[in-house]
Amino acid sequence: MLENLSAAKIVSLVTSKEIKTTEVVDYYLSQIKKYNPKLNAIVSLKKEEQIKIEANNFENSSDKIGLIPGMPLAIKDITDAKGFPTTYGLPEYKNNIASKNSIIVERLINQGAIIIGKTNTPELAVGGHTMNKIFGSTANAYDTSKSAGGSSGGAATAVAASLVPFADGTDMMGSLRNPPAFSNLYGFRPTPGVIPEDRSDFKKNYPILQSAGCIAKTPNELALFLDAIAGKHELDPISFDLTSSFRDKEFSDSEFLNLKIAWLGDMQGQYKFESGIIELCENKLQILEKNSIKIEYLNPELDTEQLWECFTTLRSKIQYEDYSKMELISLENLSIPPRWEYDAGKKIKNQDFHKSMISRADYTKIVNSLFLRFDFLVLPAAQMFPFDKNLPFPKKLGTMEFDTYHRWLEVVILSSLFSLPTVTVPVGFSEMGLPMGMQIIAKKGDDLNLIAFAKRYEELFRLSKFKPKNLD
């Protein structure tokens, strides 16, 4: 019965006591047992017996409360969940057992979640493909020979295959956009501070490029998950409360029809895409336009090469400092993506960093001016369809060879560089049946309206009805 129900409906039925928590857990455990061996999405899985005991205890508890009662969840393997290893995908951290919960995990548990394991991630969560030396590669649920994306690839595949109802993730360079796009899912990278994180080492003079967020099959499920974890926290100096809940925020017909959207496309040829991606996005935009949404094909004053230089300088410097604090003992054994970041960051001088900060400030003014004219900016969510899962990263697109391990992710840096909330929405499938998505980008702090838009988008296109067909 449960296989035909949305996660939101399952939550509703548990809340109304029409189904038991134990039934829900049994369903998801059966999905994990059946599909995870070929997908490799969930790692460090708690023993089934213990999970069932926790579900039974929850079922018999007299104070069953919370937005996600009894929902079994797996946490991205860079985030602490007490009693589970936080490996970062590194062999030397294989036995790094967390002694306490992160803020997000604590909030999920307080809202009724049962933590059952971790989702796979690449080494140090760097790179657009989920592969590491401990657990190996995570497969795409729509084609198990292909990549699930990264770094939240384990989370995306777990949701797509219904191993969990929804999942957390983090995003510095598309990690909540590339994986959902590869899995016909919705992914949300909020404004930093919407979801609190432990920022004990917070530096006011550094940009915040990373944001915690989530992945789900529908925007309503995103909203449910977000309401469970969002809001101000004393350990996060930039965290804040929103004016409404994500579940309650809706667009009226008139509000929806008055939206103005700027389509950035390939940035006037500055970004390269695999054939079919632009067409899938434009098809959905044309349908929105037929539904009276105002779409403008925009040529913004943005030099993508300068943006790339600015972003990679800031990112590599931040990554280098983070890795240095970890006192990694096996730098020479790191995979290419994190080693590239470490080596690049080590060479960056203070004047280079400050130059990039000035460039970022200048471009912020240009980007902010666009939001005086438009509600949302739109870009594809990825530059290529899911690729061979045995590749560490794509080295070329067509005949064009990439000059770095991550140049194929260039289309996602706008949101990261300027702390812009972004929801990835599905746009359909390639001729080979591989999923794709596009980014809907809003001004900083406009998170509620983004999810409200995604709800109307799903009502119009119903792309969540398409499920993986070839898992059995």
Give the DSSP letter of residue 271.
S
State the pLDDT confidence band at 156, using cuts at 50, 70 and 90.
very high
Q: Is residue 165, in this structure, part of any structural domain at all?
A: yes
Lowest mean pLDDT among 22-26, 88-92, 146-150, 467-471: 467-471
Q: Is 67 exposed, middle or buried (0-12, 13-18, 19+ CB in 10 A)?
A: buried
pLDDT at 61: 85
Query: 25-47, pLDDT tens digit by residue?
Result: 999 999 999 999 999 999 999 99
Per-residue pLDDT at 472: 78
For residue 279, being part of any structural domain is answered with: yes
Measured distance CA(268)–CA(203) in Å, rounded: 36
pLDDT tier, 330 (very low <50, low <70, confident <90, very high otherwise) = confident
471 in any annotated domain: no
pLDDT of residue 438: 98
Per the DSSP assignment, residues forming a β-bridge with 294 are 260
Task: Specify the CATH number for the domain of residue 147.
Answer: 3.90.1300.10
Rounded mean pLDDT, 366-393 = 97
How do residues 223-234 score in pLDDT, each as one tens digit? 999 999 999 999
pLDDT of residue 332: 84
301 pLDDT higher than 90: no
pLDDT for residue 35: 98
Count of C-beta atoms within a 10 Å radius of residue 292: 11
**Is residue 86 a part of any domain in this protein?**
yes
Q: Is residue 293 part of a domain?
A: yes
Confidence of residue 287 (pLDDT cuts 50, 70, 90): very high
Active site residues: 76, 151, 175
pLDDT in tens, 263-275: 999 999 999 999 9
Instruction: Please say if the pLDDT value at position 64 is more than 80.
Output: no
Encode pLDDT of 162-181 as tens digits.
999 999 999 999 999 999 99
Range of the domain at 442: 2-465
Tally of domains in the chain = 1
175 neighbors 159 (Cβ within 8 angstroms): no
- Average of pLDDT values for 316-333? 90
Mean pLDDT of the chain: 96
In a domain, 141, yes or no: yes
- In this prediction, residue 243 carries a pLDDT of 96
* In a domain? residue 138: yes
CB-based contacts of 243, cutoff 8 Å, min separation 6: 448
Instruction: Calculate Rg over the CA atoms of the chain.
Output: 21
* pLDDT recorded at residue 356: 98
Question: Long-range pairs for 345-353 at CB < 8 Å and ≥24 separation?
Answer: 345/316, 345/317, 345/318, 345/319, 345/320, 345/321, 346/320, 348/313, 348/316, 348/317, 348/320, 352/313, 353/313, 353/314, 353/317
pLDDT at 1 over 80: no
Query: Is residue 153 very low, low, confident or very high in pLDDT (cuts 50, 70, 90)?
Result: very high
Predicted pLDDT of residue 341: 97
Rounded Cα distance, 221 and 217, in Å: 7
**Residue 200: its pLDDT value, please?**
79
In-domain check, residue 325: yes
Of 14, 335, 1, 42, nearest to 164 by C-alpha is: 42
Confidence (pLDDT) at 415: 98
DSSP 45-77: PPPHHHHHHHHHHHHH-TT--SSSTT-EEEEET
Cβ atoms 163, 28 nearer than 8 A: yes
Question: What pLDDT does residue 201 have?
Answer: 79
CA distance 420 to 352: 24
